[in-house]
Structure 1
Amino acid sequence: MIFLTRLNKQPFFINPDHIVSIEETPDTVITLFNDHRLIVRESAQVIINKIVLFRSRIIRRAGSAAGRKFPDKPRRRLFQSLKSHADEYCSVESDGKPGKPFHSQDH
């Protein structure tokens, strides 16, 4: 979100992804994707600089988290528990004869 000021000096935040265009008539007019128009005190160049700064912060945060490996967190072994509890999941007894059906094994 970027911080802007209306002509009546009322401050507000706006999502820069909603901005379609910025026009500089004597006043700066921002057109949003829903065709609403906002008249602000800041110039178009100041608004563009704020948008670039906002997006660079987002990219910087995303890049710093992507390279992290989390070495302290133990790696989960997804199928190890299935091997140790195979008799609970398999409906065939160890001698090859069919065991209890799955629905009767529910507790």
Structure 2
Amino acid sequence: MIQLTRLNGEQYFLNAVLIEQIESRPDTTITLINGKKIVVKDSKFEVLRSITDYYRKIGLQMIHKEIGDLDE
């Protein structure tokens, strides 16, 4: 889970695995795999950093690296 901030300043947690897309329009808009859109105060770079940290924490990033090594 990653911590995000709504436009009203309220903080909440989101399962990062559900994120399909992140855009800046100029507000950061996150599209989930079910099509739902969430607008947050955090910059797209802060969201990406949180996702990367979360993937490292649960070991998902290492799995992607190992799969990439097999494709070569």
TM-score when scaled to structure 1? 0.54
What does residue 37 of structure 2 align with? Answer: 37
Deviation at 1:14, TM superposition (A): 0.3
Q: What residue number does 1:26 align with?
A: 26
The structure 1 segments of at least 4 consecutive aligned residues displaced by more than 6 Å after TM superposition are: none
Distance 1:57 1:36 in 2: 26
User: How far did residue 32 of structure 1 move?
Assistant: 0.6
Q: Are 1:6 and 2:6 matched, yes or no?
A: yes
Structure whose CA Rg is larger: 1
Amino acid at match of 1:12: Y
Give the structure with the larger strand fraction.
2
- Relative contact order, higher structure (CA 8 A, sep 6+): 2
Bigger share in helix: 2
**Partner of 2:29: helix, strand, or coil?**
strand
What do residues 24-49 of structure 1 show as CA deviations (whole Å, max 9, x unaligned)?
A: 01100000111111000011111010
